[in-house]
Structure 1
Amino acid sequence: MFDLGDIVEMKKQHACGTNRWEIIRMGADIKIQCTGCQHIVLMSRRDFTKKLKKVLSQAEPKD
């Protein structure tokens, strides 16, 4: 699955040309930030799971 701080790839590429997003908030809604232009998008968990392609890297576990 996915968790806070993970880098994910979405099905559609962002307008800036990159397809890597970092999850910066999780709850009923999920907030992701583009790693290329720092644009932030907020979407429902249902929409996020539908548009998610794969998790590229997991966040480092906290102590």
Structure 2
Amino acid sequence: MDVHVGDVLELKKEHPCGSRNWLVLRVGMDFRLRCQGCGHELMLPRSKAEKSIRKILRSQGSTE
């Protein structure tokens, strides 16, 4: 899956704050994500993160 730093991911499950959108801060074996609703940050293993992605909203600077 092609995910870059700065992309916003829409995940399948809601965060307790009600938001489904997460900003990608770090990509590698783990993803570091920041909730767009409340600002909470977490690290997820790549395999778990890729399963829970519903949609990738590209960052403005992306060339795709």
Unaligned runs of 5+ in 1: none
Which portions of structure 1, spanning 4 or more consecutive aligned residues, are displaced by more than 2 angstroms?
none
Tell me the TM-score normalised to structure 2 length. 0.86
Give the whole-Å Cα distance in 1 for the aligned partners of 2:17 and 2:41: 13
Unaligned runs of 5+ in 2: none
The one-character-per-residue Cα deviations of 1:6-33 (angstroms, maximum 9, x if unpaired) are: 0110010010011110000111110100
Residue in structure 2 matched with residue 58 of structure 1 by the alignment: 58
Tell me the TM-score normalised to structure 1 length. 0.87
1:1-63 alignment to 2 at 5 Å?
Answer: 1-55=2-56, 57-59=57-59, 60-61=61-62
Relative contact order: is structure 1 or structure 2 higher (C-alpha 8 Å, sep ≥ 6)? Answer: 1
Q: Counterpart of 2:58 in structure 1: which amino acid? A: Q
How many percent of aligned residue pairs carry the same amino acid?
32
Deviation at 1:41, TM superposition (A): 1.3
Give the whole-Å Cα distance in 2 for the aligned partners of 1:13 and 1:31: 17
Deviation at 1:3, TM superposition (A): 1.0
